Amino acid sequence: MSKTQTDDLTPLDVPESPEDKFREFLEIRGEKLTDPRRTLVRHIYSSHKHFDADELVRDLHDAGHAISRSTVYRTLRLLVEAGLLRELRLTNRSAYEHDYGYPAHDHLHCTVCNRVVEFRNEEILKLRDEVSRAHGFRATGHRFLITGVCSKCDRSHSPRRRLDLI
């Protein structure tokens, strides 16, 4: 059985910066890389973490950037469309993460604390490719999200009702 890897998720070397890639995407659409959009891309790519739109708005405000909530939501949608961000639809929210410049991977999501864990597993990739070939399909990617309860939340949860024990 293949080992699940979390240490192989270091950023990849890419030929263009996220900002340049986004500028190119916007130019093709006849749009401009405005100062608020540039600030968003730089802020998002200054660190790697999963975030939702509200967290991003709060982080930008805390960093002294006055960017409207509507600009954040519109720009997030454009960044996903441009292939720079990936949207993860979690149980009770949508989270975003770097897609451009980051290796393919999968996720575990704790439905209690909302923690997201990234991992790579070669067996999942092999299975994806085998299933695709069997159906005459060429896979270009996949999304695999396991939902459940992390060990920390599982330990802190004490059953109060008989149904919780089942």
Q: Which CATH number does the domain housing residue 127 bear?
A: 3.30.1490.190
Which of 57, 85, 102 is a domain's end point? 102
In this structure, are 143 and 68 located in the same domain? Answer: no
For the chain, what is the domain count? Answer: 2
| Confidence (pLDDT) at 14 | 87
Same domain, residue pair 88 and 110: no
Pairing status of strand 145-148 against strand 106-110: parallel
d(CA 111, CA 161): 19
27 shares its domain with 58: yes
The burial class, CB within 10 Å (0-12 / 13-18 / 19+), for 75 is buried
At residue 4, the pLDDT reads 47
The answer to whether residue 4 sits within a structural domain is no
Of 138, 120, 118, 121, nearest in space to 130 by CA: 138
For residue 71, pLDDT beyond 90: yes
The verdict on residue 2 lying in a domain is no
| Per-residue model confidence as pLDDT tens digits over 16-61 | 999 999 999 999 999 999 999 999 999 999 988 899 999 999 999 9
Q: Dihedrals φ, ψ of 21, to 5°?
A: -60, -40
Sheet holding 116-119, edge to edge: 116-119, 106-110, 145-148
pLDDT band, residue 140 (cuts 50/70/90): confident
Higher-confidence position of 30 and 141: 30
Residues 40 and 74 in one domain: yes
Q: 5 in a domain, yes or no?
A: no
Among 55, 78, 102, residue at a domain's last position: 102
Question: Looking at residue 44, what is its pLDDT?
Answer: 96
Residue 8 has pLDDT above 70, yes or no: no
Q: Which domain holds residue 129?
A: 104-166
Residues 97 and 126 in one domain: no
32 & 83 share domain: yes
Q: Percent of the chain scored above 70 by pLDDT?
A: 89
CB neighbours of 41 closer than 8 A, spacing ≥ 6? 18, 19, 22, 79, 84
Q: Note whether 33 and 19 are within 8 A (CB).
A: yes
What's the pLDDT tens digit per position in 107-122?
999 999 989 999 999 9
- pLDDT for res 158: 57
